[in-house]
Amino acid sequence: MSTTTQVKIHNFSAGPCILPQEVLRKAAESMIDYDGTGLSIIEMSHRSKPFEAVMAKAQSLVKELLGAPDNYQVVFLGGGASLGFHIVPLNYMKPGGKAAYANTGEWAGRAVKESKLVGETVVVASSEDKNFNYIPKGFDIPADADYFHFTSNNTIFGTQFKQFPKSAVPLICDMSSDIFSRPVNVADFALIYGGAQKNMGPAGATVYLMDPDQLGKTGRKLSPVLDLKNHASKDSMYNTPPVYAVYVSMLTMQWMKDQGGVVEMERRNAAKSKLLYDTIDRLPMFKGTTAIEDRSVMNPTFVMTDAAMEAAFDAQWKAAGVSGIRGHRSVGGYRASMYNALPIESVQVLVDVMEDFAKKNG
């Protein structure tokens, strides 16, 4: 009888993201039998006591991990952050008012487009002039704006806000790709939202963490399915929530808590990004694509100085079990997404490949 050895896969996918193995095992078990109920987690009613407990724990963990004020509310919805791009202006922009935005990449740009469908939208900061390879600084936020929106981390272009903007108007942030990767002063924000599929769980759920005192002030009549205040009042149960995605997100957040919380995630992420960026900067064969001071901890991006070498390099990292480091189709090059669950050992494998390739071909 023949046997095969499974190659360890080092998952640098930009999203859906890598998840902890223990989370995946428990999630797989729950697909057959959740907690001894004899039912799959995806079979049981979302209004059953077992799932209500899952939702309550997921909501509680969001607030605990990020240190949110007691009065803040958590909602889990479907539709991804892309639906959130439209939900935000509907819930925070007054009719006849205006919103201010920073445009730092593809997803920030989509948020701008959705806001323009609702009302006046001004882009007060943009890095489009240099193909989004830096984070704009020193910009002014209009005092008469209903809110200011920005994207904390830009997955495609590999940039990240290292300091959050100070704003006299409500601050709203799409943190899809770096939520739970570092401490955040939640009280500074009217709303933090993001898709689960980067750092928290599988695709299908979007988390909204919000100050309820900032909701319901526009006077705008909304469809209940687009009204954050309505969803909060119904504990995310106005309609059927994305049950499995919420459950796996809850498991992942519990894993984060058990590992030491967001502070420990920040420490690990800093070590991983330093290891890779130091290698990129040390080897002339590779070159980073973003301003050094704005480099993303989550999504380092780089290119080869000789593009003709890419095919050979691709073959070598694939043979080493590395997966998902090709850059976004719109920019090319390479992108090594290093979310919370990616161990530093996987980064070391990629670094070893880069060093070996440079030694043999440099």
What string of pLDDT tens digits covers the 362 residues of the chain? Answer: 444 455 689 999 998 999 999 999 999 999 999 999 999 999 999 989 999 999 999 999 999 999 999 999 999 999 999 999 999 999 999 999 999 999 999 999 999 999 999 999 999 999 999 999 999 999 999 999 999 999 999 999 999 999 999 999 999 999 999 999 999 999 999 999 999 999 999 999 999 999 999 999 999 999 999 999 999 999 999 999 999 999 999 999 999 999 999 999 999 999 999 999 999 999 999 999 999 999 999 999 999 999 999 999 999 999 999 999 999 888 889 999 999 999 999 999 999 999 999 999 97
Give the CA angle between residues 145, 122, 79 to the nearest 5°.
90
- In this prediction, residue 7 carries a pLDDT of 61
Rounded CA gap, 84 and 226, in Å?
9
Residues 178 and 296 in one domain: no
Residues 39 and 187 in one domain: yes
Half-sphere exposure of 259 (CA within 13 A, CB side): 23
Residues 92 and 57 in one domain: yes
Place of tokens 């999203």: 15
DSSP 167-194: -SS-EEEE-TTTTTSS---GGG-SEEEE
How many domains would you assign to the chain? 2
Residues 228 and 294 in one domain: no
Q: Determine what percent of the chain is predicted with pLDDT higher than 70.
A: 98
Instruction: Check which CATH number belongs to the domain holding 315 and give it.
Output: 3.90.1150.10
How many CB atoms are located within 10 Å of the residue 94 CB? 15
Of 259, 276, 302, the last residue of a domain is 259
User: 3 in a domain, yes or no?
Assistant: no
Residues 269 and 251 in one domain: no
User: 36 in a domain, yes or no?
Assistant: yes
User: 11 in a domain, yes or no?
Assistant: no
Of 224, 259, 294, the last residue of a domain is 259
Is residue 142 within 8 Å of residue 274, measured between CB atoms?
no
pTM: 0.95
User: 12 in a domain, yes or no?
Assistant: no
CA distances from 168 to 94, 146, 165, 188, 202 (A): 17, 10, 10, 10, 35
User: 5 in a domain, yes or no?
Assistant: no
User: 42 in a domain, yes or no?
Assistant: yes
Q: Which residues are identified as catalytic?
A: 107, 174, 198
Helix (H) or strand (E) holding 281: helix 261-282
Of 259, 283, 314, the last residue of a domain is 259
User: 331 in a domain, yes or no?
Assistant: yes
Residues 343 and 215 in one domain: no
Is residue 87 within 8 Å of residue 207, measured between CB atoms?
no
189: left (phi over 0), alpha (psi -120 to 50) or beta: beta
Residues 68 and 184 in one domain: yes
Q: Which of 285, 283, 266 has its CA nearest to residue 66?
A: 266
Residues 214 and 199 in one domain: yes
Is residue 207 within 8 Å of residue 196, measured between CB atoms?
yes
Place of tokens 């401490």: 183
Is residue 185 within 8 Å of residue 4, measured between CB atoms?
no
User: 215 in a domain, yes or no?
Assistant: yes
- In this prediction, residue 3 carries a pLDDT of 46
Residues 122 and 232 in one domain: yes
Which neighbouring-strand residues pair with 288? 302
- In this prediction, residue 1 carries a pLDDT of 42
Q: Give the domain extent around 322.
A: 261-361
Instruction: Check which CATH number belongs to the domain holding 38 and give it.
Output: 3.40.640.10
Residues 115 and 231 in one domain: yes
Residues 286 and 197 in one domain: no
Rounded CA gap, 251 and 54, in Å?
9
Task: Give backbone dihedrals phi and psi of 276, rounded to 5 degrees, phi first.
Answer: -75, -45
> Residue 222: which residues within 8 A CB-CB, separation 6 or more?
90, 91, 230
> Residue 32: which residues within 8 A CB-CB, separation 6 or more?
40
How many CB atoms are located within 10 Å of the residue 281 CB? 13
Residues 249 and 271 in one domain: no
